[in-house]
Amino acid sequence: MVTTNIAIIEAILDRLYPNPEVSLKYESLYTLLLAVLLSARCTDKRVNEVTPRLFALAKTPAAMAAIPVEEIRAIIRPCGLSNSKAKAISGLSKILCERYSGEVPQTLEELETLPGVGHKTASVVASQLGIDAFPVDTHIHRLAKRWKLSSGRSVVQTERDLKRLFPKDRWHIRHLQMIHYGREYCTARGCKGSCEICKAL
């Protein structure tokens, strides 16, 4: 039954989003890292409104490390949690300069050691690097439970279940497709008959 459901889900997602892209606007792995960090408890739309000013100020670790935390905080304030996020941006920028020659680390484990970079943030960046990762955000967590792909008890469990159910070589596509679908058709308020997948399962 689950195998049949997976086939249905994949077919619909592939038809609706054949070439899904990250909603956040970025110019490099470093700016993607900052954008994903800022997206915690904030919409991608708001982040995309804020990051042009931030990246105009500095778009490399070396340049950002030289900016006072207060100045970073003032720019990113609309994203919420500006105190902790500003400190994290400044701190990780300095670490990238000191330990990684100004480059974003290429492993999930190293990414997760950076200030303000949790597992989900690291997974999003890792996925864009071609590393096998299945980032689980609130949309994916909700859909996995609604579609009975996971118990939904925790994000960790949801990630484990989805990795088991979907082919590894499609993880980077599936997580983006599910995010887009969750925003457009199967929202937190309910799908109200507009969700093909809920109808089909």
Residue type, 36: V
- How far is residue 58's CA from residue 65's CA, in Å, rounded to a whole number? 9
Q: What is the DSSP letter of 170?
A: G
Task: Report residue 109 CA to chain centroid gap.
Answer: 16
Helix axes 44-57, 69-76, angle to 10 degrees: 150
Q: Is the dihedral of CA 49, 55, 61, 62 positive or negative?
A: negative
Q: Which amino acid is at 43?
A: T
Closest CA to 17 of 200, 198, 197: 197
- β-bridge mates for residue 190, sequence order: 187
Quote the DSSP letter at residue 162.
Answer: H
User: Which residues does 153 contact at the CB level (< 8 Å), separation at least 6?
Assistant: none
Residues belonging to the active site: 120, 137
